[in-house]
Structure formats: C-alpha cells, structure tokens
A and B are shown apart, each in its own frame.
Chain A
Amino acid sequence: MEKIMSVRQLCDEITSITFSSRYMAAEAKPGQFIAVKCGNNSMDAMLRRPVSICRADRWSNEITVVFQVKGKGTKLLAETAETGSYIDYIGPLVNSFKSPPAGAKIAVVGGGLGIFPLLFLLEEIRSTRKDIKADAYLGFRKNDSVILREEFTKAADNIYISTDDGSCGRKGFVTDICLPVIDAGSYDIIYTCGPQAMMKCVSKAAEKSGSECYVSLEQRMGCGIGACLACACRIAVRPAEGSSQAADGGGWEYKHVCRDGPVFRSRDVVWDKTEES
C-alpha cells in the first residue's frame, strides 16, 4: 500500500499512477510489473491486475505505472485512483529485460501498452550506460494516441513512429518500419512488448538475422505470484533442462507469465498457431 502522488490521463484510455516507494525504487527493474487490487473489495473485479512499471526514479523514489482501461477491473482502478488515495499492490514481479552487453546496439519495438516497460528500459540504460546505442520503434493507432514521445526521444538515439492511419509518422504497422532494419542485422539485441502478432513478427526476423530477442508476454492472470498457474504460455524445453520435460509430449511445456516471465527469450517461445500470419 502506498499513497498515490498523482494520476495522469495520458490519452483516451491510458492512465498513469505515480506513487512513492523506496523499496520499489531500489528493486524495480525494466520489464517487471506490479499486481494491483482495483477498487475497494469489489466483488466484481476481485483479482489483482498486472500493471506495467513505466518508470522508477532512484533518487526521488517515485514509481510510475501505466494501465489501459480494458475491462471491469481497470475501469474501477481508473475511477478510484486519485491523488492521496492508496494503491494496493504486490511487486515488483518477476523477471526483467536482460541488460545488454558492453557496446551493444539495441532496438526496442513497442505497440500500444507495450511501450511503457520499454521506456523504463531505455531510460535505465541512458542513465547508467554510455556504451549502448538504442533505437526505438513505436506503433500507435492514431496521432491522438501518440504519447511519451518526448521521453522516448530523450532516452533513445533515434525514434521511429508509425500509426495505423498515418496521422503521425509512417502509415502502417510498426513492423513495416523495423523489419527491414532488423533483417539487415543492425542490432545485437531487440526488446519487444505489445500485441502478440507484432512480437511474433519481430521475433522471427530477429532470429533470422541472428539478433538476440526478448519478448514480454501477456496472458489472463490469476494470482500474480505463481500459485494458480493460470497465465500459461508455451515455452520450448531445452535439452539441458530436460528433467522437467512434460510427459505428454516433448518439445515444450507451459511456463507462467507471473512466475517465469513476463520476459522470455524469443526463441524459447512457442507461438500460438492461431497467431500464424
């Protein structure tokens, strides 16, 4: 529980909450999330909701998290969160984006809500690593939904924006702008977060060009602490860790976003067949 310092509506349905926590400021790493209780003992949205950490200021202890109103829980959170009220959360959870090796050239590819953990990653790198070159590729629906542009511009060496309707940046999907560059083998590491179809495209391209790639997965979540096993995702079983191989067929097993993720190495992810493009 922490007292909320400010609540900002970033665009139509996206809201950010800033609170102060010395523990979080010391512990939070880019890619992690918190599990937030929405509303006060609501029977309509009982489970905690995973919310991305967008910024952790090591000096002021200010933490900013961002969410989009998607259903009952997030609607309730948007309605009840206000300056001076309290945010009830568990976190930071769980793993984070692997930090790039010395001198690496990296790209972040984000769509929609996926841009927030990537901003945290870029700002973290910018403030602690002089040796990293970073490009940001960001996809939005339309000009009105283009947010945090200034922050990304400061945190990355180059930023490239696409919108579905062309009202800002390039018209089309963010993959239209980043794939040719990834294909050319321009990056050592690529970090991606956003719609599954986008992450799958980016992963395939990265794997083909020999770049390392990390994805942040999403799945309907129950507890947030690895107990209920709801947020399952298919992850390849590596021979080295073969002991945990599932009995009913080899090759992959269900791992969990809230226990083993949310960040996974792209080549370990067994993408859904339904997402096949």
Chain B
Amino acid sequence: MTPAPDLTADIGRIKLKNPVIAASGTFGFGREYSEYIDLNELGAIAVKGLTLDPRRGNPPPRIAETPAGILNSIGLQNPGIREFIAKEIPFLRSFDTAIIANIAGNTPEEYGLMAEMLENEAVDAIEVNVSCPNIRHGGAAFGISAESIARVTEEVRRKYGGMLIVKLTPNVTDIKAMAMAAQKAGADAVSLINTILGMAVDIETMRPILANNYGGLSGPAVKPVALRMVHETASAVDVPVIGMGGIQSGSDAVEFILAGASAIMVGTASFIYPNACVEIKRGIANYLIRHGFGSVREITGRLKLNRPDQLEE
C-alpha cells in the first residue's frame, strides 16, 4: 500500500498542514461554518477582511447571481480589528488550523497600525488586502499601482515580523508587476485573484442590481482568468503564490497547483457547499495517489507549456 501523500504546503515563512485555505470574506471568522464542518481539516482560515474601526458595509442588495458566478458588494462589513483580537482569535485558536488575518486600511499608516496590533497576537499570517473593489477609500485603490502596493507592503513589513501575504486584484493591466512590487517590498507570498470588478443590470427597473452599482465577480466564471494570472505570477516571482478564483473541486485546485500555486483558497464554493474545502482537500489527495505523487510540492508548477511553434510542421 502506498503511504498517504504529504499534503503539507510551504507558503513562505510558515508551513500549512494542507494546501486548502478558506478565502477571506467567504468564511466569516470560521464560527459560521463550525457547525457544518470540522475546522481542523483546513490548512488555514483567512478571516473576513478587518479594518481598524468597525464598518457597517454597503446597503443591500449586496449580491447578484450571474452565469457561473456571483457579484458581491458587501463593503467590508466587520466588527473592527479590536473585536477580532478579543473575541475571534481565542475561538479560532481552539482549532488546529492556521489563522490568516486579512487587513484593509484607508492609508498605508493604517495598514501599519493594524499590523502592529497583530504582531503579538496568535495569528499565523497577515494577508494585506489591497484589492477589495467595494470600498470608496483604500482597498483596490492601493492594489492598482506597483508604487502603492510597495508602500503598503513596506509599512506592514516594518511593523510585522511574521508571515506576510499580499492579496492582489486582477483589475490591473500587468499582474506580474504588482506581484514583483509586493515581493520586493518584503511580502513572503502573494495571493490572487481577488474578485473581478463587474456589474449586473435589472432591465425592468433600468438600474444596477447592486445598491453599490459595481461589485466583485467570483465563482467558476472567473477561473480561467485566475488560472492565467496565477501562472503568469508564479512564473515571475520567487515567493510562493496562493491561487484562487472559482475553485469548486479537487481537480480545479490541481489546475492551480500545476500552474504554480503552492496553496489554494476556496471562496464562493463554500457558500453553496459548506464542506467544499474538505471535499477539495480530499480531491487533491486522490489526484496525488492516482498519479503516484508523494506530495503537493511535487506537482506545484509542474505544468508544461505547449510550444505552438514546434507543433507546426
């Protein structure tokens, strides 16, 4: 009998027990899912995006369904970083899974301040959110230029000695430049993609469905775009890449890993099937067994590109 494959995932400064991470903004603080699945099964949980002060979020409707996807504009509703530290960290620590604190600020200094507050807390990593499309200040505004990504990343790096992930927005011309800026400024890993800015229209009322007009698209609809961007990024940077975008199954996850992802995040799929992360983990393991691989590392970036020039006579 072949031994069970090694599912551990190296994402820079830390090692996860498996490569499946619940994506920020889709998993609450874990609490919401704890009655449906065993949180100990997850490689990590990236918690709902945190801001310095509590945020109400955007007015409803906040969600619209589109073909093979959903469009959301929640607007970073969260209880603020202090309440997260006081109430949610102790709860999450009762499980054997890594905690990734996703933070979003209005200014680079605010990101730094939050990083400083987390420095001595029991979180395993910070994910710097420079890619939320649904807030007026900060968020994706920082994520669309290499200079501002660098500024925010440097600020956080100065205040935080632990594992630092920068979450990138796909709403840019050249994702590689953004990832390289994050790496140069001290990021230990990059995660991508956040949602793609989109819109849905109600033709009867002649208005956008979302109260905020535009929102972020996620789900299977974005997977090909995400996969291409993960591949481009993994080819351009040395730090580990955490891939996400429409992953619904183990085979979707394997596609991202082959394209260069060291770990993957699952978001929208959890809304539909609360146990999606666990099923995806199982799917990855089955793939490894089926192909005789001993670890996730062995297939990370194993994708062989076609050479169209050589395919022609």
Contacts and interface: CB of A to CB of B under 8 A. Distances in A.
A245 B268 CA distance: 29
Contacts of A248: 53-56
A253 B219 CA distance: 28
B interface majority secondary structure:
loop
A232 B268 CA distance: 18
Nearest to A49: B65
Interface residues of B, number: 38
A236 interface: no
Given A37-B272, A228-B74, A254 B28 contact: no
Interface in B214-258: 219-220
Nearest to A249: B56
Contacts of A253: 56
B100 to A, nearest CB: 16
B272 A46 contact: yes
A48 B272 contact: yes
A253 B80 CA distance: 14
B270 interface: yes
A45 B27 CA distance: 21
B68 A43 contact: yes
Given A37-B272, A46-B219, A227-B270, A220 B63 contact: yes
Interface string B40-71: 00000000100001111111111111011110
Interface residues of A, number: 34
A229 B62 contact: yes
A90 B28 CA distance: 18
A221 B271 CA distance: 10
A254 B77 contact: yes
A228 B33 contact: no
Contact of B271 (A43, A222, A232, A259): A222
A225 B36 contact: yes
Contacts of A222: 62-63, 70, 72, 271
Contacts of B33: 225, 227
A100 interface: no
A245 B58 CA distance: 16
Contacts of B70: 46-47, 222
B274 A220 contact: no
A122 interface: no
Contacts of B270: 223, 227
Contacts of B313: none
A244 interface: yes
Interface in A45-74: 45-48, 72-73
Nearest to A46: B272
Interface string A239-256: 000001111110001100
Given A222-B70, A232-B77, A244-B79, A47 B55 contact: no
A73 B274 CA distance: 19
Nearest to B65: A47
Interface string A213-235: 00000011111111111111100
A248 B63 CA distance: 22
B32 interface: yes
B286 interface: no
Nearest to A245: B54
B32 A230 contact: no
B220 A43 contact: yes
A44 interface: yes
B57 A43 contact: no
B56 A254 contact: yes
B145 interface: no
Given A43-B67, A46-B272, A47-B70, A226 B55 contact: no
Given A46-B70, A90-B274, A232 B57 contact: yes
Nearest to B74: A229
Nearest to A225: B32
A233 B67 CA distance: 26
Contacts of B58: 232
Contacts of A247: 53-55, 80
Interface string A195-223: 00000000000000000000000011111
B139 to A, nearest CB: 15
A259 B77 CA distance: 14
Given A225-B36, A247-B80, A219 B68 contact: no
B56 to A, nearest CB: 5
A245 B53 CA distance: 11
B26 interface: yes
Contacts of A227: 26-28, 32-33, 270-271
Interface of B: 25-28, 32-33, 36, 48, 53-65, 67-70, 72, 74, 77, 79-80, 209, 219-220, 268, 270-272, 274
Given A48-B272, A231-B60, 16 more contacts: A43-B68, A46-B220, A48-B271, A90-B274, A220-B64, A223-B26, A223-B271, A223-B272, A228-B271, A229-B28, A229-B77, A230-B61, A232-B62, A232-B77, A247-B80, A254-B57
5 contacts: A46-B268, A48-B271, A72-B65, A220-B61, A247-B53
